[in-house]
């Protein structure tokens, strides 16, 4: 790490991250991937595969959103737009004769292209204005898809061939989540993470120190939108049909936001802990949707008010308190 980056890290109150952390994160990730693949190959029922698929999908989306909001301070409410573009592109490309792998990559690239085209406009906005601007973008995309007959209008489009089996889809979701988590571990252990957090803490000060905020934010925006597009493509492949009300629905944005806030915004383990918590809560209260919404809202309020670093931050404080108590006992 060069001198200027270290200076930016100190000014932004960002710790210098060691490569050993990235290596250990990658090792743990590979172990989890192998375990999940082994479980999915024969040990899970269809219900377990459905829950596993949803968990992996939400983890992917949460990791991408955490890069934007947690590390870059870009609180975007446009997740549904990139998710929807990925889903529509996947089904359209498969119907045009593309293979699953090529269609999947092109679907993610389509979402990244949308982010690139909109970046000049949305990056002129900061703070709450950026958040509202991305929400308006997502709603505009949904309304366009509803009224544009080229993509089936409100009815949507259907996959002309049979989608892969549930077990294959689960393994694809595991692979996507694993690659996303590995990518995020590498990014958060790199110079980009320090520059992102410097821009998040004080964009003007970072710019005076030689950082180019637009390029840093654009890179994070493109990576996150690409991953969201891949997630949408996988969901479109699973459903075999896409329509604007569900695919571009605001629920995708709200779910991802809830996962990251509850798990821990800007923390590596936050998306994983939040995804497990939110998916488990949703399944426990599946028969009581009104109670689910009420309880989720209440939990969000409590977390924002009393645990701004989420469950992971709360557990960290608990471990620190236990360590201090143990040290006092030993000293006594």
Residues 6+ apart with CB under 8 A from 248: 80, 81, 83, 84, 138, 141, 142, 145
Residue pair 255/58 in contact (Cβ under 8 Å)? The answer is yes
Where residue 104 falls among pLDDT bands split at 50, 70, 90?
very high
How far is C-alpha 158 from the geometric centre of its chain's CA atoms? 26
Q: Total structural domains in the chain?
A: 1
pTM for the full model? 0.89
Where residue 37 falls among pLDDT bands split at 50, 70, 90?
low
Q: How large is the angle between the packed helices 100-122 and 79-95, nearest 10 degrees?
A: 150
Is pLDDT of 204 > 90? no
Is pLDDT of 111 > 70? yes
Parallel, antiparallel or unpaired: strands 241-242 and 157-158: antiparallel
Is pLDDT of 244 > 90? yes
The predicted model gives 106-134 an average pLDDT of: 94
The string of DSSP codes covering 154-223 is TT-EE-SSPPPPHHHHHHHHHHHHHHHHHHHHHHHTSHHHHHHHHHHH-HHHHHHTT--HHHHHHHHHHH
- Which residue range forms the structural domain that includes residue 138? 3-331
Residue pair 157/242 in contact (Cβ under 8 Å)? The answer is yes
Phi then psi for residue 158, to 5 deg, are: -120, 145
Residues 6+ apart with CB under 8 A from 283: 51
Mean pLDDT is lowest, of 31-45, 127-141, 206-220, for: 31-45
Tell me the C-alpha distance between 330 and 332, whole Å.
5
The predicted model gives 123-141 an average pLDDT of: 93
Q: What pLDDT is stored for residue 317 in this prediction?
A: 87
Is pLDDT of 16 > 50? no
Q: How far apart are the first and last CA of the chain?
A: 42
Is pLDDT of 273 > 80? yes
Mean pLDDT is lowest, of 6-10, 116-120, 163-167, 223-227, for: 6-10
Cα–Cα distances in angstroms (integers) from residue 219 to residues 43, 72, 119, in the given order: 40, 11, 10
The string of DSSP codes covering 222-251 is HHHHHHHHHHHHHHHHHHSEE-HHHHT-HH
Is pLDDT of 141 > 70? yes
Cα–Cα distances in angstroms (integers) from residue 23 to residues 26, 167, 196, 223, 309, in the given order: 5, 30, 21, 21, 24
Is pLDDT of 39 > 70? no
Q: How large is the angle between the packed helices 46-65 and 19-40, nearest 10 degrees?
A: 160
Q: What pLDDT is stored for residue 189 in this prediction?
A: 83
Where residue 36 falls among pLDDT bands split at 50, 70, 90?
low
Where residue 186 falls among pLDDT bands split at 50, 70, 90?
confident
Q: What pLDDT is stored for residue 248 in this prediction?
A: 95
Is pLDDT of 23 > 60? no
Q: What pLDDT is stored for residue 18 in this prediction?
A: 42
**What percent of the chain shows pLDDT beyond 70?**
87
The string of DSSP codes covering 1-59 is --HHHHHHHHHTT-PPPPHHHHHHHHHHHHHHHHHHHHHHTTT--HHHHHHHHHHHHHH
């Amino acid at each position: 790490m060069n001198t200027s980056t270290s200076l930016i890290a100190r000014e932004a109150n960002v710790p210098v991250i060691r490569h050993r952390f990235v290596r250990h994160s990658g090792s743990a990730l590979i172990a989890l991937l192998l375990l999940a693949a082994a479980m999915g190959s024969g040990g899970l029922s269809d219900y377990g595969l459905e829950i596993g698929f949803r968990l992996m999908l939400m983890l992917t989306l949460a990791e991408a959103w955490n890069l934007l909001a947690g590390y870059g301070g870009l609180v975007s409410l446009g997740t549904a737009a990139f998710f929807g573009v990925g889903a529509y592109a996947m089904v359209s490309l498969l119907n045009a004769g593309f293979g699953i792998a090529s269609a999947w990559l092109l679907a993610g690239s389509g979402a990244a292209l949308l982010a690139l085209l909109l970046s000049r406009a949305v990056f002129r906005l900061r703070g709450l204005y950026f958040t509202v601007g991305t929400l308006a973008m997502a709603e505009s995309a949904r309304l366009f898809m509803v009224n544009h007959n080229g993509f089936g209008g409100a009815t949507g489009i259907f996959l002309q061939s049979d989608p892969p089996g549930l077990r294959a889809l689960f393994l694809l979701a595991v692979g996507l989540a694993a690659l996303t988590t590995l990518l995020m571990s590498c990014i958060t252990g790199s110079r980009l993470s320090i520059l992102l957090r410097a821009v998040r803490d004080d964009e003007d000060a970072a710019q005076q120190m030689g950082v180019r905020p637009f390029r840093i934010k654009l890179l994070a925006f493109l990576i996150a939108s690409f991953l969201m597009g891949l997630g949408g493509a996988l969901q479109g492949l699973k459903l075999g049909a896409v329509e604007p009300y569900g695919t571009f629905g605001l629920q995708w944005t709200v779910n991802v936001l809830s996962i990251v806030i509850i798990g821990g915004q800007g923390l590596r383990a936050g998306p994983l802990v939040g995804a497990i918590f939110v998916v488990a809560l949703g399944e426990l209260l599946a028969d009581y949707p009104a109670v689910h919404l009420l309880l989720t809202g209440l939990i969000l309020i409590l977390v924002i008010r009393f645990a701004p670093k989420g469950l992971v931050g709360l557990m960290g404080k608990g471990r620190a308190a236990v360590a201090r108590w143990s040290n006092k006992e030993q000293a006594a």
